[in-house]
Amino acid sequence: MVAKDTFHDNVKTALEKDGWTITHDPLYLRIELVQIYIDLGAEKIIAAEKESQKIAVEVKSFLAPSTISEFHTALGQFINYRCALAESEPERILYLAVSLNAQTTFFQQRFIQTVIQSASVKLLVFDPTNDSIVRWIN
Amino acid sequence: MVAKDTFHDNVKTALEKDGWTITHDPLYLRIELVQIYIDLGAEKIIAAEKESQKIAVEVKSFLAPSTISEFHTALGQFINYRCALAESEPERILYLAVSLNAQTTFFQQRFIQTVIQSASVKLLVFDPTNDSIVRWIN
């Protein structure tokens, strides 16, 4: 298990304010010898459907000196986690949580958008200044 | 640019012994603000076709305490590098170079094989004890 991301608690609070119940912190998955810890697991009852929606959220601050290195790791984690969830909890949807600042700068680059779209990475954009969710990009 | 992998020179020698000419060490790509350094670029003349085959090779030792963490990063790098090459040098084929030891242990796990196959990661398996190429897995 690695250290929590700088914005871990901001995202947790933002989800709770948005009506989500944090069910896992972290969400642990084990597939054979591979052990995976996704930052957060959350659940929300969708009243209209009388069903609960489940998500898993990996938080990345993108505050490291090399943003592209952090992106390599984030992308690899996302793909491995999604593959692991597909086996163990196919109904749970995985999001990569990125700050509004990262989303409006680094993630606006055409090349990064190309990668995000081709790998079908879902983003949860949050504002760490007021612990709120800005948008979900599916 | 990050530090060279432990087995960088072993892979370089293995490629040369196999008839490849090392053309880049590292292979630098720039797409807008994103700068990428792939460990090696190499070329080989295929006599029968009178054409040269070009490859890019990212070397990963998988000697880190957390193999899965190293795999997250390797997978993310591979996908980003492949995407960058598709734009700048579509004829150059990307390989992830892994040691025979890593390939016969970590990479044999079913979950890891599932990820490798679903992400179409091509592997170059090398033996660092005698600097030789063991096999190409396309």
Tens digit of each residue's pLDDT (9 = 90 or more) over B31-90 = 988 999 999 999 998 777 778 899 999 999 898 888 999 999 999 999 999 999 999 999
Neighbours of A63 (CB within 10 A): 13
pLDDT band at residue B4 under the 50/70/90 scheme: confident
Taking the mean position of all CA atoms in its chain, how far away is CA B104? 17
Mutate to test the interface with A, among B80, B96, B105, B113 (most CBs of A within 10 A): B80
Which of A32, A33, A79 is facing B119, going by the closest CB pair?
A: A79
What CA–CA distance (Å, rounded) separates B3 from B33? 21
Chain A residue whose CA is closest to B119: A79
**Domains of chain A in sequence order:** 8-137 (3.40.1350.10)
Which residues of B are less than 8 Å from A75 in CB distance?
Answer: 75-76, 79-80
Residue A59 pairs in a beta bridge with A97
What CA–CA distance (Å, rounded) separates B81 from B34? 11
pLDDT of residue A1: 54
pLDDT of residue B1: 54
Which residues of B are less than 8 Å from A84 in CB distance?
Answer: 111
pLDDT of residue B65: 82
Contact across the interface for A79 and B77, Cβ inside 8 Å? no
pLDDT of residue A16: 97
Give residues with Cβ within 8 angstroms of A133, minimum separation 6: A14, A15, A17, A18, A124, A125, A126, A127
What CA–CA distance (Å, rounded) separates A128 from A125? 10
pLDDT of residue A86: 96
What CA–CA distance (Å, rounded) separates B136 from B126? 9
Contact across the interface for B75 and A75, Cβ inside 8 Å? yes
Tens digit of each residue's pLDDT (9 = 90 or more) over A62-96 = 988 889 999 999 999 999 999 999 999 999 999 99
Size of interface A-B (CB pairs under 8 A): 74
